[in-house]
Amino acid sequence: MITKFIEPWILLPGALILLLGAAGVILCRISRRGAVDRAARLTLRGVGIALLAAAGALYVLSTDLVASALLRRLEAALPAFSEAALPAGPPPDYVVVLGGGTIMSSPAEGGHPALSSEAESRLVYGIRLARRLDLPLVVSGGTVFAQEGIEPEARVAARLAVELGFPEARITVEDRSRTTRENALFTAERVAPRRPVVVTSAYHMRRAMLAFERSGMTGAIAAPCAYRGDRRPLRAHMLLPSMGALDGSATAWREQIGYYWYRLRMARQLDR
C-alpha cells in the first residue's frame, strides 16, 4: 500500500515537482552565502523563488483535488439530460453527437482509425439516447489538420455506430467541422434541426450549447456525458500528483478560455 504513495513521486509529474523544488531550495540557500556579490545573490534568489513557485503550481494542478474541482465547476453548468424535465416546446428531432478525437492508426482496428475513449463515450451515450427517444443520429466531426488519407472522425463514428447496431439509414454524417462552432454551423446546414439533443462531454457542454444557440438552434437541448470530475469525499490519494489530474486541469483551463473566447467572438459578430 505504501508504494501507492511513493510511486507518484518517482514518476512524472511528481519527479519533476521534486526536481524543481530541490533546485529552488539549493539556489535560495546559495544566494544567502557571501561567496557571490549582491547582484548575483539577488538573481539566484529570484530564480530559486521562481522554481519553487513553479513546483508549487505544478503540484497543485497535478492533484485530483484541484483537477476535479475545476472540472466539476464546468460540468455543473448544465444538468444531465432527463426526458421528464424537457422544457416546453416541440419535441426533439435529432440527436447530435460532437466529435472528441480519433486515434489515427489503431492496432486493435487493424491499423484503421478508431475513436478516442472520450469520443467513443460520447457516441455510445448518443446512440442510447437516439434509441430511447426514437430519433435519427447526427455524428459531427471532420479532420482538424487536413492531411491526405486521414479519415474524418464522423465517418469513423458512423461506422462504429452501425457496428453497434444503429441503423445506417438513420445516421447523418457531418464530416467538415474542425471546431465546436463549425459542429453547430455545419450541422445546421446539413439537417436543419429544429430542436437537437446535443451530446458532448459535460465539461464541454456549456460552450457547445453557446455555439448551437448562436447558430440559430435556440431550442437545442443539452445532453452532457463523460463526466470526469471526481465527486467522492476527499481522500489521501487525491493529494498525490498524477499525469491524469494534470491533464484534467489543463482540459478545464483550455475549456474555460475557449468558452470566453467564443462569447467574445460571437458578441462581436452580433454587433456587426
Q: What is the pLDDT of residues 66-77, one digit of tens each?
A: 999 999 999 999
The answer as to whether 215 is a domain residue is yes
CA distance 99 to 101: 6
pLDDT-based confidence at residue 15 (cuts at 50, 70, 90): very high
For 267, residues 6+ apart whose C-beta sits below 8 A from its C-beta are none
pLDDT-based confidence at residue 34 (cuts at 50, 70, 90): low
pLDDT cut 70: percent of the chain above it: 96
CB 149 within 8 A of CB 109: no
pLDDT at residue number 229: 96
pLDDT at residue number 26: 95
The answer as to whether 253 is a domain residue is no
The answer as to whether 55 is a domain residue is yes
pLDDT-based confidence at residue 265 (cuts at 50, 70, 90): confident
**Is residue 44 located within the same domain as residue 161?**
no
The answer as to whether 240 is a domain residue is no
CA distance 78 to 71: 13
pLDDT at residue number 147: 65
Containing domain of residue 40, as a range? 7-61
Enter the pTM of the model: 0.94
CA distance 259 to 207: 5
Q: What does the pLDDT average to over 85-100?
A: 93
How many independent structural domains does the chain possess? 2
**Is residue 57 located within the same domain as residue 92?**
no
The answer as to whether 46 is a domain residue is yes
Higher pLDDT, 164 or 38: 164
Q: What does the pLDDT average to over 91-96?
A: 97
**Is residue 203 located within the same domain as residue 95?**
yes
